[in-house]
Amino acid sequence: MTRVTSPSRPQVTALRDIALAAYGPTALASVGTGAVTPILALTALDLGATVATAAVVVALMGVGMVVGDLPAGALAARIGERRALLFAALAEGLGMVGAGLSRSVVTLAISVLVMGLAGSVFGLARHAYLTEVVPASMRARALSTLGGVHRIGIFAGPFLGAAVVSVWGTRAAYAVGVAFALAAAALVARLPDLERHTSESGASREAGDGPGGHMTVLSVVRAHRRVLTTLGIGVLAVAATRSARNAIVPLWAEAIGLDAASTSLVFGISGAADMLLFYPAGWAMDRFGRVHVAVPSMLVLGLGMALIPLAGSFGGLVLVATVLGVGNGIGSGILMTLGADASPVRGRAQFLGGWRLMGDLGWAAGPALVSVLSVAVSLGGAAVILGALAWVGAGWLGFWVPRYDPTRDPTRSAPAEDG
């Protein structure tokens, strides 16, 4: 598999050189999202929605991300990462304004969908930017740090939102979200634009052009269908396992009689273990290779899932949730890193749109699997089966990840078209 390097954008030599540009907007936007997310269901209930309808409203954020992945790739390729990022920050703020002012469930649902679409564009723009400017030798650290900053923001946001809500009421949390979205937009507006590739015509012809030589998302995805149907299946497995973990732990907590406060504490401890590992995970991927993180992450997640039926008390569930947090934490940034490694130089944003779609579909599939399996067998049986599926995913990643890992060959940084 022949790989070539990007000719146009200078690459950084230290992450601190791009810390503000790469991580500042994500940190700000994540805090705002974290402040708003916990009150979406409450807002829906206040507007007269049933519990089931409120759950659908919350799920629309994920739906928006899935629907927006491919268009996000096309948008970033056409107008550039910086402008796409600015658009996404403003659109997210607009969605939060709509949610905060909504007087019907329909208006709230539309606003949440807009927030999901904006989040898709935001994530794609950051992913493409770091893939371009960071060399493969430090790519995993850069992307795991991006994921870590996002997680820290999502973790901190609810605390800030709770403080505001306690004084001014539930809708005040949306003001926090809007303020941080606008702060992210203001920061993006002050950052310099990135260089654009100046000679795309030759590479575009290889991948399949749209009118005027512009590479369409579908032409890029079609040209790289092999990686999306091989390594991409591993992405589905990772994302599905991670989201299934978030669904099954609270269900098991309820099954063993824990109250809401205890369940939240379980999640908090698990989240702390998860957040502490993002930089070591990136360092290990850069130092030892992607497979030495991807496979252990899935094995540990599978172990945690398989142990859930044995957790019959608060202490037992804390232990199991911590195992799951460690498994998730040591895989921090792995999906973005694998996508960056597999992405082509030309049509990168379009490819990453397809790549992120695979991950978001997996994320949506996880809770669905929990639901179906718990009905077919039992909740404990579902946990064991999902643990086994995670181990199967580990084997799949162990086979395919090395074939796209630039740390195994420093001259490789982006794959040629699959044909």
Burial of residue 211, with CB atoms counted within 10 A of its CB: 0-12 exposed, 13-18 middle, 19 or more buried: exposed
* pLDDT at 161 (0 to 100): 87
**Digit-coded pLDDT (tens) for 384-410:** 999 999 999 999 999 999 988 887 755
Top-confidence range, 3-7, 69-73, 135-139, 267-271:
69-73
Does 182 lie in the same domain as 228?
no
pLDDT confidence band for 4 (50 / 70 / 90):
very low
Please check whether residue 202 lies inside any domain of the structure: no
Contact assessment for residue 362 and residue 243, using Cβ atoms and an 8 Å cutoff: yes
Determine the Cα–Cα distance for residues 190 and 234; give it in Å rounded to an integer.
Answer: 38
**Residues 142 and 230 reside in one and the same domain:** no
Q: Is residue 203 part of a domain?
A: no
Is the confidence at residue 6, as pLDDT, over 70?
no
CB 86 within 8 A of CB 141: no
What pLDDT score does 11 carry? 59
What CATH number did the domain enclosing 72 receive? 1.20.1250.20
pLDDT in tens, 244-270: 888 888 888 888 988 867 877 887 888
Predicted TM-score (pTM) of this structure: 0.82
Q: Of the candidates 195, 210, 241, which is a domain's last residue?
A: 195
Q: Do 61 and 133 belong together in one domain?
A: yes
- The pLDDT assigned to 107 comes to 96
User: Does the residue 243 lie in any domain?
Assistant: yes
Note the pLDDT tens digit of each residue in 283-321. 999 999 999 999 999 999 999 999 999 998 999 999 999
Q: Which domain holds residue 173?
A: 18-195
Domain shared by 395 and 347, yes or no = yes
Q: Is residue 417 a part of any domain in this protein?
A: no
Residue 22 has pLDDT above 90, yes or no: no
Q: Is residue 168 domain-shared with residue 226, that is, in the same domain?
A: no
* pLDDT single digits (tens) 223-244: 888 998 899 999 999 999 998 8
Q: Is the pLDDT of residue 159 over 70?
A: yes
Task: Tell me which of 178, 195, 212 is where a domain ends.
Answer: 195
